[in-house]
Structure 1
Amino acid sequence: MDEVDRSILAVLEQNGRISNNELAARVGLSPSPCLRRVRQLEEAGVIRGYRALIDPAAVGRSLRVFAGVRLMRHTRADVVAFERGITQLPEVVACHHITGNFDYLLQVEVADLPAYEGFHANQLAALPGVATVTSYVTMKTLSPEAI
């Protein structure tokens, strides 16, 4: 991967729907070599896909909570059971297996605090192997452009 590939990736990270002609102009290539490089990056798995970023509030998920989850035990069976269960919960938009005070850090999006309370009590805490859940309610999210 060279500097041109890195430039292509930087532009696509900001706008995955940019036309090939515009992308080529921004990175200083003609359209054909640019498209060839993008396809190579896709085939190599560097570009894993394209997606729409949805405003959570617009779809009734205006409350974002980060939840630290600690498991009772760390046997392979317990980890697999928890991970299988957590992937079935649509409120969980990201799940990270981490080091530190928690075993997992979840990003949860729901309508409001009562919805999170129900999710926490009836779904999250009921998953196999969950010992504790510590919740952090997001008050404001800064975009990279605002930092």
Structure 2
Amino acid sequence: MIELDELDRKVLRALQEDATLSAGALGRRIGLSQPATWRRIKRLQEEGAIKGRRLMLDREKLGFGVTVFLGVKLATKGRVSLEDFERAVSAIPEVQTVEHILGLYDYRLRVVARDIPDFERVLRRRVMTLPGVGNVEANVLLSEERRPGPI
């Protein structure tokens, strides 16, 4: 675990809100000079607290109006390795996240599609043909009220 002081936490909170902030703008926001802010960002990156910066896209405006969470239970864990399944499912562009979970299902997938018929195509032609897939349960996202926020 990385030791964080209050200024480190302020840097991380501000970058989670807007990862495009320059070191100067970020420093003004939290009360540090640009060089001191840059050094903190660099240290947080080197220590692994900051893994990268991402661009958030509006899926709906880009034509992907349906998000579905799939619970996937593998049929034959002994005959198909988890790595083989993960590699194959990660190659499907519509699959946004792959989470190995404990519980009723082995994996939870976040899948985006243009509409329900497009999702059905992805499910039938791509997901259901993956190695080792057994039971699948789909849950369509109706709305998303809370986005991931600061730690």
TM-score band, normalised by shorter chain:
over 0.9
Shift of 1:73: 2.5
1:49-102 per-residue CA deviation (whole Å, 9 max, x = no partner) reads: 111100001222110000000001223843122111101100000010001111
Deviation above 2 Å: which 4+ runs of structure 1?
73-78
Equivalent of 1:119, from 114, 117, 122?
Answer: 122
Q: Is contact 2:80–2:131 with CA below 8 Å preserved after alignment?
A: no
Q: Structure 1: any 5+ residue segments left out of the alignment?
A: none
Structure 1 SS opposite 2:61: helix
1:30-60 per-residue CA deviation (whole Å, 9 max, x = no partner) reads: 1111111001111112111111100001222
Question: How many residues are aligned here?
Answer: 145
Instruction: After TM superposition, list the pairs within 5 Å mapping 1:74-113 onto structure 2.
Output: 74-75=77-78, 77-113=80-116
| Structure 2 letter corresponding to 1:44 | E
Instruction: After TM superposition, list the pairs within 5 Å mapping 1:46-57 onto structure 2.
Output: 46-57=49-60
Q: Is contact 1:97–1:104 with CA below 8 Å preserved after alignment?
A: yes
Structure 2 SS opposite 1:56: coil
Shift of 1:130: 0.4
Identity %: 34
Shift of 1:138: 0.7
TM-score (norm 2): 0.90
Q: Is contact 2:45–2:51 with CA below 8 Å preserved after alignment?
A: yes
Q: Structure 2: any 5+ residue segments left out of the alignment?
A: none
Structure 1 SS opposite 2:73: strand
Q: Is contact 1:68–1:103 with CA below 8 Å preserved after alignment?
A: yes
RMSD over aligned Cα atoms? 1.5
Aligned mates of 2:137, 2:50 — CA distance in 1: 34
Q: Is contact 1:96–1:104 with CA below 8 Å preserved after alignment?
A: yes
TM-score (norm 1): 0.93
Structure 1 SS opposite 2:98: strand
What is the aligned partner in structure 2 of residue 30 from structure 1? 33
Equivalent of 2:64, from 61, 64, 74?
Answer: 61
1:112-143 per-residue CA deviation (whole Å, 9 max, x = no partner) reads: 00001111111101100000110000111113
| Structure 1 letter corresponding to 2:146 | S
Identify if the C-alpha distance between structure 1 residues 12 and 87 changes in structure 2 by more than 3 Å, giving closer, same or farther.
Answer: same
Q: Is contact 1:125–1:132 with CA below 8 Å preserved after alignment?
A: no
